[in-house]
Amino acid sequence: MNILLFGGFLGSGKTSIILQVARYLVETRKEGFSTRQTDSGKPSLVIIENEVGETGIDDKILRAEGLSVRDLFAGCICCTLNAELTICLNEIQEELSPQWVIIETTGMAFPDKIVATITKFGKGIDSIKTIVVADAERWDELSTVMPGLIEGQIAKADVILLNKIDCLEPKQVSDVKEGVRRINSSALFYAISAHHEVDPQVWREAVTDK
């Protein structure tokens, strides 16, 4: 299975982006046909959604789209639930063996630490890609208030999606891009607006290309 691990601070727009990526994956299978199921009747995509609290909100949106969702509550994937996440992934691989698994982390998670754990203990993993959503609209504020968290999330990302660029003037977008690139200059980088449908070419390059 191929894992897409989504990180980014609360309110950055991860769920909206995940919905777009999920639609892209289920509608653009390598075999060239559109389906939510593999030939064996098992789902081609599973989403693991992590909320701190008793009930999830984002998972309701995801399920409304007809997507398979598993919840990890009562903790943050980046710390106490690392072991539970690995167990969940191994159960998904054994029971469903999907082509894709999307993991949505909490806003406080450090994706690289999660990758280290599931790489070491996960089974049946073909690839792992870390996709971090940066909030362009609140970039200055978040970078000032919690620079360690924001830099830690972005520094080792494979793909960076600078979201909400429609909320800023072109000069502001340029300044934010420069700030993000100073932290991570090697990641694939895309400036987008999750309020609008993103060009599928972006998802092809960022998600499915090796």
Whole-model pTM: value is: 0.83
Domain boundaries, the chain: 2-205
Q: How many CA atoms lie less than 13 Å away from 64 in the CB half-sphere?
A: 8
User: pLDDT tens track of the chain, all 210 residues?
Assistant: 999 999 998 889 988 898 889 888 877 764 444 344 444 556 678 888 765 444 444 555 556 655 555 554 433 344 445 677 888 889 888 988 888 899 988 888 899 999 998 998 999 999 999 999 999 999 999 999 999 999 999 999 999 999 999 999 999 999 999 999 999 999 999 999 877 889 999 999 999 886
Which residue carries 């909206």 as its tokens?
16
4: tokens are 């897409």
| Annotation: CATH topology of 2-205 | Rossmann fold (3.40.50)
CA distance 158 to 97: 24
Show the DSSP H helices in the chain as ranges. 14-27, 58-64, 82-95, 111-121, 139-145, 147-155, 170-183, 200-203
Which residue carries 């999660």 as its tokens?
114
CA distance 128 to 116: 10
42: tokens are 């098992």
Backbone angles phi, psi at 137, to 5 degrees: -65, -35
CA distance 92 to 77: 17
